[in-house]
Amino acid sequence: MSDDLAILFTADFITPLVDDARSWGRIAAANALSDIYAMGGRPLAALNLVCWPRELPAELLGEVLGGGAAAAAEASCLIVGGHTVEDREPKYGMAVIGLIRPEAIVRNRGSADGDLLYLTKPLGTGILATAIKAEMADADQIVAVVASMAALNRTAAEAAVATGVHAMTDVTGFGLAGHLSEMLGDDRQLGAEISLAALPRLPGVLDQMAMGMVPGGAYRNREAYSDRVFFDAAANQDDGMLLFDPQTSGGLLIAIAPESSATFEQRAESAGARFWQIGRISTSGRIVATA
């Protein structure tokens, strides 16, 4: 827009993941807002995007929109309108405009050899959402996955930007492996080492995986990135399926220089943001999962 102002514009909407309408609304809004945070921006305004079946009561839609409004309010983002269409399956999300200084835009490229990799939310939302649909998830697992998906990435993004992050993206439908592959670029100059033991997991995820609660998207992701992801001899490839689990409203994947890592951790901790160091950038040209 000018030398010192740029606009970020993004849109995302999802089908229901949980039974509670208000929780679904908040998750969908947090998911849409996350793309602004992943670029280092500040959400300004949003439009609701709604697909709604005639058979469902309008009061239920009010609960969905209430959940979205709560997430937007926490983000200091104005909801200024929206659009609704009739559809056989309910869907909800937002188109979001954010603001940023042009020189401060954070890309999903730009990491360097030796950068430390941080993840700001535990993995397993796709697996637990599958378990919820199959009525296999217990109450604690449902509470944990809803809380994780509903949380904003705001504080973690602010800590990363203030530290001088090299590259950042949010982990969503392509899973950790897919979004990390995007961060590494197509020229195969960069690679990464990921510790499976260091990956944060939502409660009960490994047990649900063992019972077959793995979404189809995880298998598609594994196939799509099979030429980039390798497991060392000691790594458990069954546990490694977590790398491919498609996330909804997942955490930020952040690449930070080692000399800046302590500052990032201090800023994130003081702001109440969660984070886990899961690996580092290398020059191997591939993603290597270790035990």
**For tokens 């099979």, what's the residue?**
226
Going by C-alpha positions, the residue among 33, 120, 39, 19 that lies closest to residue 71 is 33
Dist. CA 134–CA 128, nearest whole Å: 10
Three-class SS of residue 91?
A: strand
- pLDDT tens string 147-162: 999 999 999 999 999 9
**For tokens 């949010």, what's the residue?**
170
**For tokens 């077959």, what's the residue?**
212
Dist. CA 280–CA 291, nearest whole Å: 14
**For tokens 């229901």, what's the residue?**
16
- pLDDT tens string 26-58: 999 999 999 999 999 999 999 999 999 999 999
Quick one: tokens of 232?
A: 């060392």
Quick check: 203 pLDDT over 90?
Answer: yes
What is the mean pLDDT of the segment spanning 276-289? 97
Going by C-alpha positions, the residue among 168, 127, 135, 178 that lies closest to residue 251 is 168
The second-level CATH assignment, the architecture, of 6-104 is 2-Layer Sandwich (3.30)
pTM of the model: 0.96
Helix or strand run (H / E) with residue 111: none
What is the mean pLDDT of the segment spanning 5-15? 97
Per-residue confidence (pLDDT) for residue 114, from 0 to 100: 97
The CATH fold assigned to 116-290 is Phosphoribosyl-aminoimidazole Synthetase; Chain A, domain 2 (3.90.650)
Per-residue confidence (pLDDT) for residue 37, from 0 to 100: 98
- pLDDT tens string 51-110: 999 999 999 999 999 999 999 999 999 999 999 999 999 999 999 999 999 999 999 999
Per-residue confidence (pLDDT) for residue 237, from 0 to 100: 87
Contacts of 103 (CB under 8 A, 6+ apart): none
The CB-based long-range contact list for 110-113 (8 Å cut-off, 24+ gap) reads 110/166, 110/167, 110/255, 111/166, 111/167, 111/183, 111/184, 111/190, 111/255, 111/281, 112/166, 112/255, 112/257, 112/281, 113/190, 113/281, 113/282, 113/283
CB-based burial, 112-148: b 16+ in 10 Å, e otherwise: eeebbbbbbbbbbbbbbbbbbeeebbeeebbebbbeb
Three-class SS of residue 80?
A: strand
Domain boundaries, the chain: 6-104, 116-290
